[in-house]
Amino acid sequence: MSAFKMPALGADMEAGTLVEWLVKPGDRVKSGDVVAVVETQKGAIEVEIFLEGVVSNILVPVGARVPVGTVLAQIEGAEGAAPPPPLEPAAAALKPAPQVLAQAPPMPAITAPSSRLKITPAARRRATALSLDPTMIVKGTGVEGSIRLADVETYASGAKLARCPAKIGLDLSQMRQAIAAAMSRSKREIPHYYLTETVDLHAASTWIERYNAEKTPVERILPAVLFLKAAALALREQPHLNGAYENGAFIPSSSIHIGWAISLRGGGLIAPAIRDTDRKSLAELMAAMRDLVERARRGNLRSSELTSPTITVTSVGDRGAESVTGVIYPPQVAIVGFGRVVARPWVVDGRIESHPLVTVSLAADHRVTDGHIGGLYLAAVGRLLQEPDKL
C-alpha cells in the first residue's frame, strides 16, 4: 500500500483544492496517468501519479483544500513502481510537513466535526458513495436547513457545472501572490549574479526567413524556438547551471527540461517544462511551445510540467523590452533571458552594418557557479546561434 499525496507544484505552493477525481476505487493506475485535477494559484492542474497499482481508497473529497503532502488516495500493490520525475521528490522535500501545516491557510469546513453538520443519514451515505464532501453543500432544503438526499443529488449533478468557471477563470490576484512569494524567497535565499551578451542574429534571421518561406503557417517557427534549442544545447557544456539547489547542495540534472516562461494575458506568469528540450527537433519544440501556451492560458497544465523544469528560459518576443534579466525560480539555479530582436549597428570586418541583435542574459546562483562558467555558457549560446541549421 502506498500513499498518493498532494504534490508540491512549485516552490510557491502550500495547498491545493481537489476539484476532480478522474479515478475511483478499484481503478488500475500506472505511472504517468492523470488521476485528479487540483486547483492551485496557477490554475487547474492535471495531477499525474507516479505509482503503479489499484486505487483502494480515496481520502480527500472533491472540493476539499488540503496542504501539500496530504495523502489524497491509497494505492494497493504499488511496490516496484516507476520512479517519479527527477526533481519532484526534491521539490517536495523543500517543504517539511510541519512547516507546511503551520503556514497553510485555515482549513475550510471540511475539518469541522461532521456531527455538527445537519444532514440526513441517507444523504450522508449518498454523498460518501459519490465521493462528495457534504459540507460543500451550502443550501440544505430540509428542516432547519439540513441536507436531504435530494440536495446531494442536486449538488452532484450541478457540481461539475459550478466548478467550470473556477477552472477557466484564473484568480490573477492569487497568482500574483504566488509569484511574489516565490520571487521573494529567491531574492532572499539565492545570491544572484548577472551577465549579458549581445548576440548577432544575422545568420539565424536569414536562416529562419528561408525556412519559413517554404512552410505553411502552421509549420513556421518563431525565433524563440532557436533561442530555446541553443539555450538547451549550451547546457550540455555547462551542466552546473542545470539542476536544483536543495538542502545546502547542488543536485545536477542529467536531463535538460527547460521551463519556458509564458505570460498570461491580464497578468501572471507560468513556466512549464518542455521535457528533453535538447533532444527535440525545432519543429517538435515549436509544437510543444504552441501546445503549452494554449494549455497554460486555459489553465490546463500537468503536474509534472510544473515540477520538472531544471532551468527557466524567458523570451520576451517582439513586443517586449530590449533585454531581460530574470529572477531564479527556486530550487533552480539559473534563468536565461532573451530580449526583443532589434536592428542595430554592428561591426563586421571593421565595417559598420545593420544587423539584427539580441541581448541574452543569465542570472545564476553564486552558491553553484560564478561568472566564469556563466560567461562560457553565454558564449556557447551565441556560438550555437551562428549555425542555426545545426540546431
Judged by the rule CB under 8 A, the positions of this chain that interact with other proteins are 209, 212-213, 216-218, 220, 222-224, 263, 265-266, 289-290, 293, 317-319
Spatial distance between the Cα atoms of 239 and 253, rounded to a whole number of angstroms: 8
Taking the complex as a whole, the smallest distance from the CB of residue 176 to other proteins amounts, in Å, to 16
Question: Minimum distance between the CB of residue 130 and other proteins, rounded to whole angstroms?
Answer: 32
Least distance in Å: CB of 266 to other proteins? 6
Task: Check: CB of residue 64 under 8 Å from CB of residue 133.
Answer: yes
Rounded to whole angstroms, the Cα distance separating 207 from 221 reads: 11
Residue 116 DSSP code: G
What is the helix (H) or strand (E) element at residue 198, kind and residue range?
A: strand 192-200
- Which CB, 231 or 289, lies closer to other proteins? 289
Residue (143 or 213) nearer to other proteins, CB: 213
Per-residue cell: 204: 539565424
- Between residues 266 and 345, which has the closer beta carbon with respect to other proteins? 266
Nearer CB in complex with other proteins: 169/191: 169
Which one, 212 or 255, has the nearer CB to other proteins? 212
Dmax over CA atoms of the chain, in Å, equals: 90
In the complex, the smallest distance separating the C-beta of residue 261 from other proteins, rounded to whole angstroms, is 11
Q: Round to whole Å and give the CA distance between 47 and 36.
A: 5
Among residues 304, 195, 310, 183, the alpha carbon closest in space to that of 244 is found at 310
Nearer to other proteins, 118 or 220 (CB): 220
Least Å distance, CB 340 to other proteins, is 10
Helix axes 121-129, 149-168, angle to 10 degrees: 40
* Residues β-bridged to residue 355: 344
Instruction: Show Cβ contacts of residue 376 under 8 Å, excluding neighbours closer than 6 positions.
Output: 237, 238
For the bound state, the minimum distance from the C-beta of residue 314 to other proteins, rounded and expressed in Å, comes to 12
Q: Is the CB of 318 or the CB of 353 nearer to other proteins?
A: 318
In 134-217, alpha helices (H)? 149-168, 172-189, 202-213
**Rounded CA separation 32/55 (Å):** 14
Task: Tell which phi-psi region holds residue 268, choosing left (phi > 0), alpha (psi between -120 and 50) or beta.
Answer: left
Least separation in angstroms between CB 265 and other proteins: 5
**Rg of the chain taking only CA atoms, in angstroms:** 24
